[in-house]
Amino acid sequence: MGSVVDAPVVVEGVAENMLGDKKVTVVFVLGGPGSGKGTQCANIVEHFGFTHLSAGDLLRAEIKSGSENGTMIENMIKEGKIVPSEVTIKLLQDAMIKNENDKFLIDGFPRNEENRAAFENVTKISPAFVLFFDCSEEEMERRLLARNQGRVDDNIETIRKRFKVFVESSLPVIEHYNAKDKVKKIDAAKPISEVFEDVKAIFAPYAKALLECDYISVIKNH
Ligand SMILES: Nc1ncnc2c1ncn2[C@@H]1O[C@H](COP(=O)(O)OP(=O)(O)OP(=O)(O)O)[C@@H](O)[C@H]1O
Ligand SMILES: Nc1ccn([C@@H]2O[C@H](COP(=O)(O)O)[C@@H](O)[C@H]2O)c(=O)n1
Ligand SMILES: [Mg+2]
């Protein structure tokens, strides 16, 4: 039986990016509003040890913190609009630096071409892959109206605006990564547990490669 050190799994995008002095792996998690990004990220964290960073959650926390950008962010979220990239990128970058983990799920980002290009320019990080949760607007609308978490944007008027922004601004980002063969598309209309079975099949080879990276760096530094 071969040892993991003899035969490392080479998977593109795993631990290829530097953030300060740490090597990081980033997976972008995209999909329409209510497609189940947050729900599945929680499962991935539990099974594969990633840290979940939701751009929307970071922006909502920024509003609560009383930051000088709070009012601007709140108004953008109420309108379903995309907050300027420098604000969101700073929040994501700070969260990755503060966290000791080296593998991150970035949920709900990049949301438009400006987000994508600015993140690449500022951080020099490119994703190992992009997980895309594909779901019909009808199903997403049903889920958002039933979510009941008190979000200011979970009302039918803002939901319609968010769908429009998704189609006009976010789908082109997914197309960009698709042209680079980086998109892993999941049928997100299925029940939560069935969606996670498909997610697991995608993460398994990466999880193995990441474990081997950790193991090899332990051996090297020993
Ligand atoms: N596969 C599924 N089937 C049915 N309901 C689901 C499924 N996945 C998630 N949900 C429910 O749909 C709602 C939206 O899910 P979630 O918050 O994960 O979506 P999201 O993509 O993160 O949305 P947003 O972009 O608005 O943050 C939640 O109430 C969640 O419990
Ligand atoms: N990159 C992003 C992500 C989110 N926003 C704003 O937050 C809202 C909620 O995002 P969720 O991912 O939690 O649905 C979104 O509609 C945007 O207003 C953003 O500006 N940029
Ligand atoms: Mg979410």
Ligand 2 centre from 209 Cα, in Å? 31
CA geometry: angle 45, 48, 51, nearest 5 deg: 40
Q: What atom in ligand 1 is closest to the CA of residue 56? A: 27
- Of all protein residues, the one whose alpha carbon is nearest to atom 9 of ligand 1 is 36
Q: Are 209 and 9 in contact (CB under 8 A)?
A: yes
Per-chain mean pLDDT for the chain: 92
* pLDDT score for 7: 58
Task: Note the Cα 218 to chain centre separation in Å.
Answer: 28
* pLDDT score for 216: 64
Ligand 2 centre from 162 Cα, in Å? 9
Q: Which CATH superfamily is domain 25-200 in?
A: P-loop containing nucleotide triphosphate hydrolases (3.40.50.300)
Ligand 2 neighbourhood includes 116 CB (under 6 angstroms):
no
Ligand 1 centre from 143 Cα, in Å? 6
pLDDT tens digits, one per residue of 88-128: 999 999 999 999 999 999 999 999 999 999 999 999 999 99
Ligand 1 centre from 34 Cα, in Å? 5
- Of all protein residues, the one whose alpha carbon is nearest to atom 4 of ligand 2 is 56
Domain residue ranges of the chain, discontinuous segments joined by +? 25-200
Ligand 2 neighbourhood includes 31 CB (under 6 angstroms):
no
Buried b (16+ CB within 10 A) or exposed e, 157-178: ebbeebbebbeebbeebbebbe
* pLDDT score for 208: 77
- Of all protein residues, the one whose alpha carbon is nearest to atom 28 of ligand 1 is 147
Q: What is the ipTM of this complex?
A: 0.99
**Could you tell me the CA-to-CA distances from 117 to 37, 83, 97, 122, 181 in Å, in that order?**
22, 15, 20, 9, 18
Relative orientation angle of helices 156-165 and 137-147, to the nearest 10 degrees: 140
pLDDT in tens, the chain (222 residues): 444 445 555 677 676 798 988 899 999 999 999 999 999 999 999 999 999 999 999 999 999 999 999 999 999 999 999 999 999 999 999 999 999 999 999 999 999 999 999 999 999 999 999 999 999 999 999 999 999 999 999 999 999 999 999 999 999 999 999 999 999 999 999 999 999 999 999 999 887 777 777 666 666 666
Ligand 2 centre from 214 Cα, in Å? 33
- Of all protein residues, the one whose alpha carbon is nearest to atom 12 of ligand 1 is 143
Binding residues for CMP: 115
User: Which mutation among 30, 37, 39, 54 tests ligand 1's pocket best, with the greatest number of atoms within 8 A of CB?
Assistant: 39
* pLDDT score for 21: 86
The CA distance from 27 to 175, in Å, is 16
